Amino acid sequence: MDGMTAPTARKVLLAAPRGYCAGVDRAVIAVEKALEQYGAPVYVRHEIVHNKYVVKTLEKKGAIFVDETAEVPEGNIVIFSAHGVAPVVHEEAERGKLATIDATCPLVTKVHKEAVRFAKEDYDILLIGHEGHEEVIGTSGEAPDHITLVDGPGDVAGVEVRDPDKVVWLSQTTLSVDETMETVGALQQKFPNLISPPSDDICYATQNRQTAVKQMGADADLVIVVGSKNSSNSVRLVEVALGAGAKDAHLVDYAEEIDEAWLEGVSTVGVTSGASVPEILVEGVLEWLAQRGYGDVETITSAQESITFSLPKELRRDLRAEAAGKLAGGESA
């Protein structure tokens, strides 16, 4: 802060909820348990979640991240990431004689199932999402002939369907709620009989983290979002913070990436993190800020979360079998 204007009152507003959602927690634990259960290496198709630190930590424990199942040597185990995969990827794994553990978040699977159902009923499905994002590739793969990607309100004018009275919209789980509603509004103008998904596709965790950052945004001179650049939900939090009135907002993987110049004239710093971000990284940011006079932390809570998901079924089966084996071994001894 040398040579900078240091405001007298300095504080941090810490958003809650923030960080790990139930789907990420389950996916990361799935890789850890698989390493314990089967031993290293365990292959993972794509980053298990979009976080540099998580990927590095799991690599150190013996996980090998690959882009495609074809890279996994025959007979090995491959874990599918939390973002989900297209059915063709399951088929590839079967052809490659790979054992699979599907760590797709159940809330992503729910969207896959909606896509399959509407495609069976021969609807045109307008999938709102970001082009090239893994989740969108996976969901689209469930019904490629029925799904058209709509990447924001700007895409709506160019959308064409077979029958404007038989159209449904679905979405990626990690989008901006407000921008998605804008896209839906524009689609409804174009297709007045457009059907909405049976329940929210943007998941509870995405919505809660955006609500929390909105609540603090207007009071913050600077918002620091902890998360990786390829994490859609983390990137959205920066946009939501700015939209809510934060004067400045940045995404950082680690505290070391914070630029001291961002603190120039800043009294209130908002801190939050994406759904794929371990709390240890937020703690690092809070320490960094405390060392610069921002040690007064107020938590702004906008929702309580208690949702958890059980581990992928393949892993539960093997963990159960091992526990039963140990028990039987113990009994006979």
Decide: helix, strand or coil at residue 79: strand
Judged by beta carbon distances under 5 to 8 A according to partner kind, the member of ligand SF4, ligand 0O3, none in contact with residue 231 is ligand 0O3
Residues in contact with ligand 0O3, shown as a per-residue x/- string from 179 to 218 under the rule CB under 6 A: ----------------------------------------
Does 31 sit near ligand 0O3 (CB under 6 A)? no
Q: Does 108 bind ligand 0O3 (CB under 6 A)?
A: yes
Distances (CA, A) of 253 to 120, 204, 223, 229: 42, 23, 14, 8
| Spatial CA neighbour of 124 closest among 184, 154, 164 | 164
Which of 24/194 has CB closer to ligand 0O3? 24
In sequence order, which residues have a C-beta less than 8 Å from that of residue 27 and are 6 or more positions away?
48, 49, 81, 82, 103, 105
Assigned token pair, 106: 């159940």
Residues 115-144, one symbol each (x = binds ligand 0O3 by CB under 6 A, - = not), give --------------------x---------
Q: Which span sits near ligand 0O3 by CB under 6 A: 1-9, 93-101, 136-144, 272-280? A: 272-280
Q: Minimal distance in Å, beta carbon 204 to ligand SF4?
A: 7
> What CA–CA distances, in Å, run from 145 to 91, 116, 161, 223, 265?
18, 11, 12, 42, 54
Q: 3-state secondary structure string, 28-44?
A: HHHHHHHHHHHCCCEEE
Tokens 């009071």, residue located: 219
Q: Which long-range contacts (CB under 8 A, 24 or more apart) does 324-330 make?
A: none
Q: Which residues bind ligand SF4 (CB under 6 A)?
A: 21-24, 82, 105, 107-108, 173-174, 203, 205-206, 233, 275
The residue with tokens 């690092």 is 284
User: Is residue 49 involved in binding ligand 0O3 (CB under 6 A)?
Assistant: yes
Q: 59, 135, 260, 283: which is the annotated catalytic residue?
A: 135
**Residue 223's binding partner out of ligand 0O3, ligand SF4, none, with CB under 5 to 8 Å set by partner kind:** none
In 3D space, the residue among 202, 253, 209 whose CA is nearest the CA of residue 231 turns out to be: 253
* Residues 245 and 221 sit within 8 Å (Cβ to Cβ): no
Q: Binding of ligand 0O3 at residue 92 (CB under 6 A)?
A: no
What sign does the CA torsion over 206, 212, 216, 218 have?
Answer: positive
User: If DSSP codes are grouped into helix, strand and coil, which group holds residue 136?
Assistant: helix
The piece of 62-70, 138-146, 271-279, 290-298 that touches ligand 0O3 (CB under 6 A) is 271-279
- 135 included as an active-site residue: yes
Interface residue with ligand 0O3 among 233, 268, 272, 273 (CB under 6 A) is: 233
In angstroms, what is the minimal distance from the CB of 24 to ligand 0O3?
A: 5
Residue closer to ligand 0O3, measured from CB, 19 or 96? 19
Q: Which residues form the interface with ligand 0O3 (CB under 6 A)?
A: 23-24, 49-50, 82-83, 105, 108, 135, 173-174, 231-234, 274-276
